Amino acid sequence: MKKKKYLFGLLSTILSVGFLFGCNDKKDEAEPDPTEEPSEQKAENDRNNNGSRNVGYQPDRDRNDKKKVDSDTPDLKGGPERLVREPHPLSLSDLRKKYSGTFLLNGDRTKREVALTFDDGPDDKFTPQVLDALKKAGVKATFCVVGNRVKAHPEIMKRIIKEGHAIANHSYSHPNFPKLKIEEFRNQITNTDKIIHKVTGYKTSIVRPPYGSINEEEIKWLAHEKKKIVNWDVDSLDWKGLSAEEVSTNILAQVKPGSIILQHSAGGEGEDLSGTVKALPEIINKLKEDGVKFVTVPDMLGIPVTK
């Protein structure tokens, strides 16, 4: 009897141990090593790592990424950074800094001299009045002329040269340069150069863009042609039809040594420039009283004038 009880107890012990070891084996199967990456996650990470090597916008990938964004998170209204942060054209200020040897606004700030410049002529109404005022004051200026207007008024153009004034190329028909194709832009410059030379016998290497606007490609071409772009640092705003007092105030309040002053000797249809003509005596007298000398743009910037 005791022997049967002993055998029964031994058998129970063996079965219990076997049961415990069997449970541990199943536990090992159910709980993989936490340091080992699950196969599905590993595959996903491999896809992501491979995808990170693809630089730039990939529509399919980006659309899939967007689907993964938490639906509770509002989207970026302007679009994702990678799509929006594209290079933008340089501003005029940036272009002036980048091409400072070609794109100029003023002369030497240590010299008490200024340059009067007159755009959009010649015409047969205001340009002769400006010339009369300058002649009376004994002042030389720079006329930024439009090619088709030089053709229309060659005698007035010849008077500008005869009375000792300088000239600059202000395009053939006064378009907005950045809106032109590069070939159209070149034609605006070269055609006007030819007309100026034919009428006056002189060549100019100075270009003033209409509205002061120009793009980088056009600047590079002008630099290659050894031309200078000359805008201004003092704007009279006379094209607004201002009174003589307003034109004078705009100029005298801004002028500095080396300033290049923008006025007009002709305008668009219906523009009244009588204010700028009447303002000239006061502007010239006031600056002369302050010891300021009037020079042409070529003289101020050391740009040679050739025939």
Higher per-residue confidence, 227 vs 29: 227
- Split at pLDDT 50, 70, 90, the class of 165 is very high
pLDDT at 164: 97
- What gap in Å lies between CA 265 and CA 171, rounded to an integer? 15
pLDDT at 208 over 80: yes
153 counts as catalytic: no
**Residue among 119, 120, 123, 193 flagged as catalytic:** 119
Antiparallel, parallel or unpaired: β 103-104 and 228-230:
parallel
pLDDT at position 27 is 43
275-303 pLDDT, tens digit per residue, is 999 999 999 999 999 999 999 999 999 99
Bridging pattern class, strands 166-169 and 234-235: unpaired
Rounded CA separation 291/285 (Å): 10
**Using one digit for the tens of pLDDT, what is the confidence trace for 103-156?**
999 999 999 999 999 999 999 999 999 999 999 999 999 999 999 999 999 999
Tell me the per-residue pLDDT of 250-269, one tens digit each, with 9 for 90 and over: 999 999 999 999 999 999 98
Catalytic residue among 72, 264, 290, 299: 264
Active site residue 264: yes
Higher pLDDT, 307 or 56: 307
Residue 66 vs residue 52, higher pLDDT: 66
Per-residue pLDDT for 19 more than 70? Answer: no
| Mean pLDDT across the chain | 84
Q: What does residue 160 show for φ and ψ, rounded to 5 degrees?
A: -55, -45
Q: How far is Cα 107 from Cα 299, in angstroms, rounded to an integer? A: 10
Closest alpha carbon to 262 in 211, 202, 204 = 211
